[in-house]
Structure 1
Amino acid sequence: MMTGMNTETCAPADSAALHEVIASRPEAVPPLGWGAVRAFEAEHGVVLPEPYRTFVAEICDGLRAGPPFYGLLPLAQTPSDWGSGRPERLLSEPFPLTEAWPWEAEESEAELSEEEYQQCEDRRSPVFDHGSLLLGTDGCGMYWHLIVTGPERGHVWLIDENGAIPFGTRPGTSLMPGTPGFAGWVTHWAQGRSWFGEEDG
């Protein structure tokens, strides 16, 4: 797990970087304002991590052009392909992971009984639905989540049918290298860089 990321106050550098990205994009959705953000937090029993919290309150509440590919969702919305039969999303329940989990690879290496497969499904459900906001989708069931509760609070994760991967450089791994956190993720996209590209220099 990465440490040292400030999720309690919006760093001026993060705010400036986010303003710069949004300023050139007329398709930005207007910000919500602090009253709406605090009401959302009270309803769901969470405090949104910075700089995302300031972003939706003061800068913008969604961006139709991305990131990700199909646009940055307004606060608490789900993508059109998310589906209606999913479990309730519980933002106040801690996100259960602290490192990548390639469940598709794990399951393909073993022949699972029906009971073992169901146990895997039960373990996966909280990864999708606990402690995170949906930021948007790159299509094909690839969803970006901002973690709002638990040890990974403030980090952005890519979660799809194959597994869950954190965005940002971490000790011992570089599955998705870059500057961790919401501002790093947005800036990475604005620079036109691949999510799985070269590590930040």
Structure 2
Amino acid sequence: MVGVNTDHASPGDLAALRAAFPGGGPPLGWDAVRAFEAGHGIVLPEPYRTFVAEICDGSYTGPPDFGLEPLAELPDDWGDDRPERVPAEPFPLTEPWVWEDDPRPEEEIEALLGPVYDHGSIVLGTDGCGMYWHLIVTGPHRGHIWNITGEGAAPFGAEFGHTTADPGFAGWVRHWAEGRPWYDA
């Protein structure tokens, strides 16, 4: 697995993020980012951390199709009857999982799904139809983007297949800003 530098934002990544969101929402500022982190027991991975503090906190223009959610918000179609999200708990997956094809009993699969949706991530937004993009904030895939749908979950980045994009938040945004389809490999 190609590493994503989650501790330092490169000037090139920050320049690409600024160029991709010239009219995005106002940034949160560092005090608000640190308060969010303290309240959730996490440190956001770079360059997303600097992005929400200094560039913008959400954007109607995307990515994904229905816009980039502000840090502390969820997409409108997320649902009100879901369990509380726990970003400090490790994200449980390290490889793609298509639970729709999993032969285990439905009860066993359902018990495993909660943490996939609700542990170790920030929801970046939706492409509709139950397709959510998550930034992983804890666990072995910290800093990577995952697409989690009603049928399964998969990491985003060329090293995982299906796309030519660089991994991580900056690679995900750069791929979108270039007008390329998510799955172009």
TM-score normalized by structure 1? 0.89
Which amino acid is 2:40 matched to? H
Give the gaps of 5 or more residues in structure 2: none
How many matched pairs?
A: 185
Q: Is the 8 A contact 2:162 2:184 kept in 1?
A: no
- Aligned counterpart, 2:10: 11
Give the gaps of 5 or more residues in structure 1: none
Q: Is the 8 A contact 1:167 1:177 kept in 2?
A: no
Larger deviation, residues 12-21 vs 46-55: 12-21
- Aligned counterpart, 2:145: 156
Q: How does 1:12-31 map to 2 (within 5 A)?
A: 12-23=11-22, 26=23, 28-31=24-27
Quick one: distance in 1 between partners of 2:116 and 2:29? 29
Quick one: distance in 2 between partners of 1:165 and 1:42? 28
Query: In the TM superposition, what is the alpha-carbon distance from 1:4 to its structure 2 partner?
Result: 2.7
Quick one: distance in 2 between partners of 1:95 and 1:4? 16
Give the secondary-structure state (helix, strand or coil) at the position aligned to 1:81.
helix
From the CA coordinates, give the structure whose radius of gyration is larger. Answer: 1
TM-score normalized by structure 2? 0.97
- Aligned counterpart, 2:155: 166
Q: Which runs of 4+ in 1 moved over 2 A?
A: none
Quick one: distance in 2 between partners of 1:85 and 1:91? 18
Is 1:185 matched up with 2:184? no
C-alpha distance after superposition, 1:67-109 (max 9, x if no partner): 0000000002100000001011000000001111111122xxx
Quick one: distance in 1 between partners of 2:39 and 2:142? 18
Query: In the TM superposition, what is the alpha-carbon distance from 1:175 to its structure 2 partner?
Result: 2.6
Same amino acid, percent of matched pairs:
61
Aligned Cα root-mean-square deviation (Å):
1.1
- Aligned counterpart, 2:60: 64
Quick one: distance in 2 between partners of 1:97 and 1:175? 18
Query: In the TM superposition, what is the alpha-carbon distance from 1:117 to its structure 2 partner?
Result: 1.0
